[in-house]
Amino acid sequence: MQSPSANTETAPRPLIAEFRAATRRYGDVLAADALSIGIGRGEFLSFLGPSGCGKTTALRMLAGFETPTSGEVYLDGERVTEVPAYRRPVNMVFQHYALFPHLSVADNISYGLRQRRPRPDRAEVAQKVDRALAMVRLSGFGPRRIWEMSGGQQQRVALARAIVNEPKLLLLDEPLAALDRKLRREMQIELQTLQRQLGITFVLVTHDQEEALSMSDRICIMRGGRIVQSGSPNALYDQPVSRYVADFVGKSNFIDGIVTAQSGKDGQVETALGQRFAGRLSGSLEQGTKASLSIRPEQIGLTHAPRGGAEPVSVINRIFLGEHTEYLVRHATLGDLLVLVARQAEASEGGFAPGDAGFISWAPETGLILGQD
Amino acid sequence: MQRRLSTWLLLAPAGVWFAVMLVLPLCFVLVFSFGEREAAGGYVPAFTLEQYANLPTRGKAFLNTLILAPLGTLLSLLIAYPLAYFLAMRANPKWRTMLLILVIVPFWTSILIRSYAWIFILGGQGLPALIEWLGFGEVRLINTPFAVLTGIVYGYLPLMVLPVYVSLERLDKRLLEASADLGAPPLQGFLQVTLPLSLPGVATGCMLVFILLMGEFLIPAMLGGGKVFFIGNALVDLFLQSRNWAFGAAVAVTLVLIMLVTDTLYMWLMRRLGGAREDVSLM
């Protein structure tokens, strides 16, 4: 990262929504701590973090279900901080869909249109409902009752009910959490396609990194009500600003220690046992501060014969993943490490079985020295 | 075989109870209703429709019941719904159980004693005295339809509050957020989401109160003072005072028929309202 604070990074397009130091307090708990971020028009933005990190509060402040204790929320250039949910041109896909059980699929979808004053005429409503149903591939399901629909279909109805209103922001609160793995994959692709077709700005809240990485243009990693880092999935993966981000986005191995040398972007970490490892410094870390060297599993090579600078390990476990094989290896002082070996590399080197001895090595520039916060 | 036997054994107590205590007496009543009155009171076997032809002589009791029972049900609903709504949607969860218990507390005292209390409240020394003292002139409250309605609504309110409360409490509050999110102001959200989804509870409460009101005799007897009487009072009178069992049986059968029709309507309505949803209460 070039900038010391990742939160000030500006959105790449004109803004459709913006938090300005939005803070939401529940008693002593700071659910959102001076959130400041702009959401670009047509962007697919995700708030990613564990439960309690404030991502849902952020979404609910956009929807109008929460009013910030201090700070402002802007929508399309207007200050909407205290505007109630029913007056915001924003729609939400709820975590458990929150479909109206007493209404048919079509009546659920038309609910938003029917609230408009003056009321749009029937033919227009019916036409829009049909178009929305087609968009989520549920044509002909209009007269069905909600409980006759499967989980995946209900998900689509919830989506149709929101997009039929052509909102300025579509908010998605863990929309895929209740679906099984295969369906989730399908819906991820569908959501992305839909977003491109409609050009609506999507704001997704999720704790599932894979979901966020695969769909978003930009991800905000949240923790304790703050945005720790925001950036494209690639940037977050390759240039995490802290151990927390590296741990949350993708898998990584960490070697904890203290920064003992730094010159420009290069640095060195010394472990408690005195082992020294070189790596690239992320941000500015003073000498003597606690830091972690992060090495992605795919950056580590596993060989039968020692090479220069290789560390001896024993193989604990092997998981075949098709294109890759994931090894869990144990090092005498570094502990357990994950190593991801590509199919080709494994073919040339030969596989390992649990119990085998081997050597791991990585190029120093692939190691990232991260602050431990 | 084993399973079937255990099923029958499990059903036996309730089955026997219903057969002996409900079906059999109903059969007696039905047979009696076609009979004649013995001169000294009681029953003489016969087959005549004379008793049914006599029904119009008790027209006033039927009329009172058929007006005051639905009216009492409606009034109970109008008072109970906001209360149940408050308990389910607005009350602090910390106090909710306590408040619910308060709703039920009156049941800890016999309705007889509570109705006595109303006699004093509505009687000459009670509210009417206060109204007169305030200068609103002379009013009579006791022994009027108003007194009976007051007693009815007071007595049956908890039976209305509880089912409505349950249906409101069970309502997924996220649906209201969804409604607001889709642009519906709070009142529209109530009319389009809360109200329809609480209708099963409303119907159950209305049915509970209505059924009991149709057979009510204590409250009209105490607060109606013989001037405002229900079918229940007519039955007590026919069976216990004038000992005209045959005519009493005919009145009772008619009442049962009215109830059957209402109940059928209720079931039909519930199916219309709730469709095939599993959470529909069928009483």
pLDDT in tens, A51-108: 989 999 999 999 999 999 999 999 999 999 999 999 999 999 999 999 999 999 999 9
C-alpha dihedral, B221 to B224 to B226 to B229, nearest 10°? -80
Q: How far is B139 from chain A (nearest CA, A)?
A: 48
Inter-chain touch B182–A64, beta carbons under 8 Å: no
Instruction: State the best of A90, A91, A115 to mutate against chain B, taking most chain B CBs within 10 Å.
Output: A115
The answer to whether the CB of A337 falls within 8 A of the CB of A331 is yes
- Cβ atoms of A356 and A302 within 8 Å: the answer is no
Q: Within the 158-177 window of chain B, which residues sit less than 8 Å (CB to CB) from chain A? A: 172, 174-175, 177
Predicted pLDDT at B274: 61
Instruction: Point out the residue among B182, B185, B188 whose CB comes nearest to the CB of A165.
Output: B182
As for the ipTM of the complex, it is 0.85
pLDDT, residue B29, reads 94
pLDDT of residue B283: 36
Residues in chain A: 373
The verdict on B191 touching A (C-beta cutoff 8 Å) is no
**DSSP state, residue A282:** P
Can you give the residue ranges of every domain in chain A?
A: 6-238, 251-371
| Structural domains counted in chain B | 1
Residue B49 lies in a domain: no
Q: Are B164 and B202 in contact (CB under 8 A)?
A: yes
Task: Say yes or no: B272 contacts chain A, CB-CB below 8 A.
Answer: no
Taking phi over 0 as left and psi of -120 to 50 as alpha, with beta for the rest, A276 belongs to beta
Q: Is A58 exposed, middle or buried (0-12, 13-18, 19+ CB in 10 A)?
A: buried
What CATH number matches the domain at A6-238, 3.40.50.300, 3.90.1150.10, 1.25.40.10, 3.40.50.2300? 3.40.50.300
CB contact under 8 A, A116 and B183: yes
pLDDT of B25 reads 94
How far from each other are the two terminal CA atoms of chain A, in whole angstroms? Answer: 16
Backbone φ and ψ for A97, nearest 5 degrees, come out as 75, -40
Taking the Cβ of residue B3 and every Cβ of chain A, the question of whether any pair is shorter than 8 Å is answered with no
C-alpha count within 13 angstroms, C-beta hemisphere, residue B161: 21
Which of A345, A334, A333 has the alpha carbon at shortest distance from A302? A345
- Per-residue pLDDT of chain B in tens (283 residues, 90 and over written 9): 678 899 999 999 999 999 999 999 999 999 999 999 888 888 888 899 999 999 999 999 999 999 999 999 999 999 999 999 999 999 999 999 999 999 999 888 898 999 999 999 998 888 989 998 998 888 888 999 999 999 999 999 999 999 999 999 999 999 999 999 999 999 999 999 999 999 989 999 999 999 999 999 999 999 998 889 999 999 999 999 888 999 999 999 999 999 999 889 888 887 776 654 444 443 3
CATH classification code of A251-371: 2.40.50.100
Residue type, B274: G
Q: What is the pLDDT of residues A164-196, one digit of tens each?
A: 999 999 999 999 888 888 888 888 998 999 999
Look up tokens 């959200």; give the residue: B189
Q: How far apart are CA B94 and CA B90, in angstroms?
A: 11
Helices (H), chain B: 2-18, 24-33, 50-53, 59-85, 93-104, 111-122, 127-133, 145-170, 174-181, 186-189, 195-214, 218-223, 231-236, 245-274
pTM of the model: 0.84
Q: Is A50 helix (H, G, I), strand (E, B) or coil?
A: coil
Query: Which of B174, B178, B197 lies closest to A102 in CB terms?
Result: B197
pLDDT < 50 positions in chain A: 1-9, 11
List the single residue in A86, A98, A102 with the smallest CB-CB distance to B183: A86
The pLDDT of residue B1 is 61
Comparing CB atoms, the residue among A85, A96, A145 nearest residue B181 is A85
Give pLDDT, residue A139: 95
Question: Which residues of chain B make contact with A67, given a CB cutoff of 8 A?
Answer: none
Cis peptide before A118 (omega within 30 of 0): yes
Residue A125 distance to chain B (closest CA, Å): 14
| CATH code of the domain containing B184 | 1.10.3720.10
Determine the structural domain holding residue B249 and report its residue range: 57-274
What pLDDT is stored for residue B125 in this prediction? 87
pLDDT value, residue B280? 41
A97, A99, A100, best to mutate vs chain B, most B CBs in 10 Å: A100
Nearest residue of A to residue B176, measured between CA atoms: A98
